[in-house]
Amino acid sequence: MNFENILVDIQDTVAKITINRPKKLNALNKKTIQELHTAFKEIQSYTDVQAVILTGSGEKAFVAGADISEFANFSEEEGANLAKEGQEKLFDFVENLTKPVIAAVNGFALGGGLELAMACHFRIASENAKMGLPEVSLGVIPGYGGTQRLPQLIGKGKAMEMILTAGMISAEDAKEYGLVNHVTTLEDLLPLAEKLAIKIAKNSSVAISKAIEAVNANYKDGVDGYYVEIENFGNCFETEDFKEGTTAFLEKRKPDFPGE
């Protein structure tokens, strides 16, 4: 896969996507959003890949937000379309991907950058990371799902404070809030992401996709998450992975999941 603004590196079962506009602190312009969509879509079809790591290039930023230079002159309609298209193409797409995506937050994750990290299935961060939704300081509100996912992850009160003050929090505070799961040195960030991804990849990919769907169901309007869990639990019993997982356990050996 060849792109202008992102790098894709696949090693065995793990794909790494690096947003690569370091001079613009990896800000998300239209082209980058399209490239990310294409890369995630393609990776979703690769049966060998079982986990994805998303990070930013350089030592300063994961993503410093949506590219402000692209929307500064937008009308109301263009603004709404920007949010809608971005949510569909990237943020909702990542959240609903059948393969787990780990955000390795290596610096500033602001605005659309934090929203992208929040659309991933979980996040880890380096100690230099800073996170925030500064949109109201620009006269706009978060438009890529930030007003919804931040309260889901850290609770309404803390989310309101972050959104209304437009302030940034440190990696340690983000861990305390439950926004990131682990904080490491910058040097250890990708090795930890890889370790977690490899651990995930040892499990049944079919069960993992069913688990992602069931967890996400809790956050979808008009969907009964418990019902989705029952359905997906039942579905697993028809899979080769389930047969292999249970047989391997009973035979006291490690499973070799076919991913079917």
The DSSP letter of residue 137 is G
CB 130, min distance to ligand COA, A: 8
Residue recorded with tokens 């356990």: 249
Token output for 241: 């992975």
Token output for 243: 């047969």
- For position 118 contacting ligand COA by CB under 6 A, the verdict is no
CB atoms within 10 A of CB 86: 23
CB 236, min distance to ligand COA, A: 41
CB 27, min distance to ligand COA, A: 4
**Can you tell me which of 65, 100, 145, 146 binds ligand COA, judged by CB under 6 A?**
65
Decide: 62 and 6 in contact? Cβ < 8 Å: no
Site string for ligand COA, 14-33 (x = CB under 6 A): ----------xx-x------
Distances in whole angstroms, Cα of residue 152 to Cα of each of 2, 116, 167, 176, 184 = 35, 14, 19, 15, 24
- For position 110 contacting ligand COA by CB under 6 A, the verdict is yes
- For position 108 contacting ligand COA by CB under 6 A, the verdict is yes
Active site residues: 115, 135
- For position 68 contacting ligand COA by CB under 6 A, the verdict is yes
Q: What CA–CA distance (Å, rounded) separates 166 from 161?
A: 8
- Contacts with ligand COA, residue ranges (CB under 6 A): 24-25, 27, 64-69, 108, 110-112, 134-135, 138
